[in-house]
Chain A
């Protein structure tokens, strides 16, 4: 009976994600946790701003904004509590989420001396940055 209880306990421990391996100490495992936290924070920030913008919009004219605010006009629009400005900032924050993730990977892996992963991440960032330029040239 005691052996059965010990076996059940061992199975429980093994099936917990926290205890599945010893790779808690491995750099990529920690990086995954860091990225998960960053993504959650990033989304929370974007959702907070989206909520503020939506509430201001509904109070103002009961409709969501029909266009975003151009980048150059964003600071002034934010100071004037323009709902569209909050929504625009939130949408931009969402868009830069994956870029922030890539930068985190680059910094984290470079610090750990994992040059290969850092190098590949830099390459991805460069290619991702090139895409909008190429598309602009393509007339899209």
Chain B
């Protein structure tokens, strides 16, 4: 591997980190295909480096969001129980179930989410009154609207149970699962998209911890790939989390929809047996 490859890994990671932190993703869904298909990195090393970069992105992005109190910690912890359980099932499914059938189901689910997001108005009005059985109501300052946004998450049990899907996808694909969490929180639970992205940024790091430790134990975490990826994503997450606070929710939602479309199509092609560069 040349120095240019290491620099390219750094740059790709920085861009992925910026975009990922803006919309609450780890950026792994971009890094793995690009590293392996275009930079010649073995797929397992790319996945391991990507999983580590997801944690870096989460730590970097969440530190900014936590500072501005945009992360709903109680909601994140509640959903993490289901997400982590889903990740275990996902890891088990990889070994036992036909993966292509699962990919088909998930790609259809992602397309359904895109439709839901496109039907939902960008300025989804959060619910500010009513019961709050789980004490999840909170508020944050949104510089884009120049004021405080308050909300009470809705359909908490259904949303928490549904976040198991994010965990399943994380276990299957080695990603953080933010691309499921953000629309889930935004559309179903009526959490403002910025708070959803911030909460997801915190959650994805916790979701992939187990995988990264295993990758290290199995010598798949190669410094030559992981170090430039970690540094690049750190830089990107700092830029992305700051940009994310200033960009209007409408634009964040469009970016998220584009990412979901990319993922859904990738999964669908894989399920149909069409080779997609860089995917497992």
Interface, chain A (partner B; CB < 8 A): 14-15, 17, 20-21, 23, 28-29, 31-33, 35-36, 39-40, 42-43, 46-47, 50, 53-54, 57, 63-68, 84, 87-88, 90-92, 94-99, 101-102, 105, 116-117, 120-121, 123-124, 127-132, 134-136, 138-140
Nearest residue in B to A123 (C-beta to C-beta)?
Answer: B81
Identify A105's interface contact among B64, B73, B216, B217, CB under 8 A. B73
Instruction: Looking at the assembled complex, report how far the CB atom of A110 sits from the nearest CB atom of chain B, in whole angstroms.
Output: 13
Kindly list 7 other residue pairs between chains A and B, CB separation below 8 angstroms, not including A35-B66, A101-B205: A14-B147, A17-B69, A20-B139, A36-B67, A68-B222, A124-B206, A138-B92
Minimum distance in angstroms from B148 CB to a CB of chain A: 5
Is residue B162 within 8 Å, beta carbon to beta carbon, of the partner chain? no
10 pairs across A/B with beta carbons < 8 Å?
Answer: A33-B66, A33-B67, A35-B66, A42-B59, A53-B227, A94-B56, A116-B135, A128-B209, A132-B213, A138-B94
Nearest CB to that of A51 among chain B residues? Answer: B231
Interface bracket on B:
35 or more
- Residues A95 and B227 in contact in the complex (CB < 8 Å), given A20-B139, A68-B219: no
* B265 sits at the interface (CB 8 A): no
| Distance to closest chain A CB from B118 (angstroms) | 32
Cα–Cα distance between A65 and B225 once the two chains are bound (Å): 9
Residues of chain B within 8 A (CB-CB) of A65 are 222-224
B-side interface residues toward A, CB under 8 Å? 6, 52, 55-56, 58-60, 62-64, 66-69, 71, 73-74, 77-78, 80-81, 84-85, 87-88, 91-92, 94-95, 135, 138-141, 143, 146-148, 205-206, 209-214, 216-217, 219, 221-224, 226-228, 230-231, 234
Quote the shortest CB–CB distance from A77 to chain B (angstroms).
13
A98 touches B206 (CB 8 A): yes
Instruction: State whether B78 touches A43 (Cβ < 8 A).
Output: no
Residues of chain B lying within 8 A (CB to CB) of residue A136: 214
Give the residue name and chain of the A residue nearest to B138 (CB). Answer: A28
Contacting residue for A47 out of B74, B141, B228, B231, CB 8 A: B231
Per the bound structure, the CA–CA distance linking A84 and B52 in Å amounts to: 16
Kindly list chain A residues whose C-beta atoms are within 8 Å of the C-beta of B67: 32-33, 36
- Is B91 in contact with A101, judged by CB distance below 8 angstroms? no
- Report whether B63 and A43 are in contact in the complex, using a CB–CB cutoff of 8 Å: yes
The listed residue (B95, B223, B231) touching A66 by CB distance below 8 A is: B223
Q: Is the CB of A135 within 8 A of B211?
A: yes
Q: Knowing A14-B147, A124-B81, A134-B88 touch, does A98 contact B58 (C-beta < 8 A)?
A: yes
Query: Using Cβ atoms and an 8 Å threshold, which residues of chain A touch B148?
Result: 14, 20-21
Q: How far is it, in angstroms, between the C-alpha of A97 and the C-alpha of B62 when the chains are bound?
A: 12
Q: How far, in angstroms, from A117 to B6 measured CA to CA in the complex?
A: 42
CA distance in complex: A54, B211 (Å)? 24
A72 CB, min distance to chain B CBs, angstroms: 12
* B residues in contact with A94, CB < 8 Å: 52, 55-56, 59, 212, 230
Cβ contacts under 8 Å, B147 to chain A: 14-15
Complexed CA–CA distance, A89 and B147 (Å): 42
CA A35 to CA B206, docked complex, whole Å: 13
- A38, chain B: closest CB distance, angstroms: 8
Given known contacts A84-B223, A91-B223, is B77 in contact with A120 (CB within 8 Å)?
yes
Q: Are B6 and A64 in contact (CB under 8 A)?
A: yes
Q: A105-B73, A128-B210, A135-B210 are in contact. Are A120 and B81 (CB under 8 A)?
A: yes
**Neighbour of A95 across the interface among B85, B94, B143, B213, CB < 8 A:** B213
Bound-complex Cα distance A87 to B224 (A): 10
